[in-house]
Structure 1
């Protein structure tokens, strides 16, 4: 405190304002006490919780891997081991690859595998390219008929023409018994286009403006800037298309009358699930009436049907979460 010379009243000095005392040397500052009612996810799990999580994860992994293990083991077992186990083989016995030799000897299964790989490759490339072009056009606010086209895409997600009009359209285009009937009816998915569109809208506009100032057109901006920056979303969309084409059998059942053009999934459905003898010549008789018949051959066909997807998925899985979630949030 100080005294004013004119008024004689006491006044406070600026340097006399009390401040909290600095913490003592060697002592950490006091932390704010947390509330006792913390969320569950902020708590430190105890040993029983950790053990419960481990048991649950192990049970889930076992539930996923055990059926796959029995399918693979049965496919490489002899017919005697299958008869001894009364069905699916769980305990390994004599290993035999006779079932794979029969189905890969040039019969209908081999042709069906080639058809499935070809349709999946061509269909995935075509669908991905068309989806990228459509998504880029819809992501530009100034594009021609932007809103009507986007509204049309949204309508197709909830309403479809139906089976009979689609069949009449495919038949009218002359695509019956054509491989294009397995690709064109489902070539574009509105859901995948919207994922790419939202991802493209998240690209920094300043980068696109800088490219246009340098003289880049839409094709160059798309090919050299937007597509390389959207690799995660494009990989996920390509995976969606690839899995859809490889697992599809309904279009083949509707539009393919020639059994030599059947994809692998239709062969799997007809022979494994329905127990129908595989039609056709060549190696078909070896598949149905060969030395190894019945369950080992069926399981070998199942292994061939799931092997390509299992081989490709690990390379795309790291982009899966990033591509879907980031593409859904943006926009």
Structure 2
């Protein structure tokens, strides 16, 4: 089929805009990786524009040799794994009854849950609640305040509602109870949506630094993002000073800009590694959990 010149022009414009969006999005990341792998001389002389120049990994050796980085890494992994598990369990337990038409409080609870999307008590009352409950300077301060996302509950509720009611009725006639219906029918049939919610929650926990600033005064409990924030804002002198001795001399030879970019690459590498395995569920999961008109 021969396309008209208007159709061809339309596709040219669309593909050009997509290509431009890819370049604008991808180039900064490639530049950061290239700086982190280039030599100090190439960075200081501003020779790095796209690909690494004079491949060098001294920045990685210095940053990865800093013990506080690994403590922060452990804390972030703990918050991400444990927090995501608690998030998914709480979201499933909240979304399932809200999706059942036989639940007598369904309408009222849907209203009150949606209400929290637009109005909240504010930061100071939340901080007072956390401190009064004894959660300040504990790991649970990073999990319990963000246990359930209202938006994610709505997505999963819609996914549960999309399951034909006849399946639940048939299982109920065979003696299945609510927990059996949830864990043996509802959850297996909404795996794509749960994969997307897992990605949402995991990325949110991995990138969370504001709650850590508020509720974690102990450095041994602080996540990787607090470490990264110190490196970016303080221009990394703290790292260079704490290394001391022979390592400090080597650290001073590494560009401050390179230290920043190495820290960025190290902090986002796990999420970039995991994302491709979940990405295939992304579109399908969002569509499955969409509100039907």
Q: Do the structures match in fold with TM over 0.5?
A: yes
Distance in 1 between residues matched to 2:175 and 2:242, nearest whole Å: 60
- Structure 1 residue 279 displacement after superposition: 7.1
Bigger share in helix: 2
- Aligned positions of 1:224-235 closer than 5 A: 224-235=184-195
Residue 35 of structure 1 corresponds to none
- Aligned positions of 1:136-155 closer than 5 A: 136-143=96-103, 145-155=105-115
- Aligned positions of 1:27-38 closer than 5 A: none
8 A contact 2:193–2:286 mirrored in 1: yes
Residue 218 of structure 1 corresponds to 178
* Aligned counterpart for 2:218 among listed residues 258, 262, 282: 258
Name the CA shift for 1:287/1:203 in 2 (closer, same or farther; >3 Å).
Answer: farther
Distance in 1 between residues matched to 2:179 and 2:244, nearest whole Å: 49
- Aligned positions of 1:179-328 closer than 5 A: 179-275=139-235, 277-278=237-238, 283=243, 290=251, 291-328=253-290
8 A contact 1:82–1:89 mirrored in 2: no
Residue 81 of structure 2 corresponds to 121
* Aligned counterpart for 1:53 among listed residues 14, 36, 45: 14
8 A contact 1:108–1:280 mirrored in 2: no
8 A contact 1:249–1:266 mirrored in 2: yes
Distance in 1 between residues matched to 2:222 and 2:45, nearest whole Å: 34
8 A contact 1:195–1:327 mirrored in 2: yes
Residue 37 of structure 2 corresponds to 76
- Structure 1 residue 283 displacement after superposition: 4.9
8 A contact 2:212–2:223 mirrored in 1: yes
Question: Secondary structure at the residue paired with 2:102?
Answer: coil
Distance in 2 between residues matched to 1:284 and 1:320, nearest whole Å: 46
Deviations 1:161-182 (A, max 9, x none): 1111111111111111111111
- Structure 1 residue 318 displacement after superposition: 2.1
Q: RMSD over aligned Cα, in angstroms?
A: 2.6
- Aligned positions of 1:83-102 closer than 5 A: 83-85=44-46, 89-102=49-62
8 A contact 1:287–1:293 mirrored in 2: no
Distance in 2 between residues matched to 1:261 and 1:77, nearest whole Å: 33
Question: Secondary structure at the residue paired with 1:93?
Answer: coil
- Structure 1 residue 319 displacement after superposition: 1.8
8 A contact 2:91–2:148 mirrored in 1: yes
Question: Secondary structure at the residue paired with 2:70?
Answer: helix
- Structure 1 residue 43 displacement after superposition: 6.8
Structure 2 gap segments, 5+ residues each: none
Distance in 1 between residues matched to 2:147 and 2:248, nearest whole Å: 33
Residue 170 of structure 1 corresponds to 130
Distance in 1 between residues matched to 2:209 and 2:239, nearest whole Å: 17
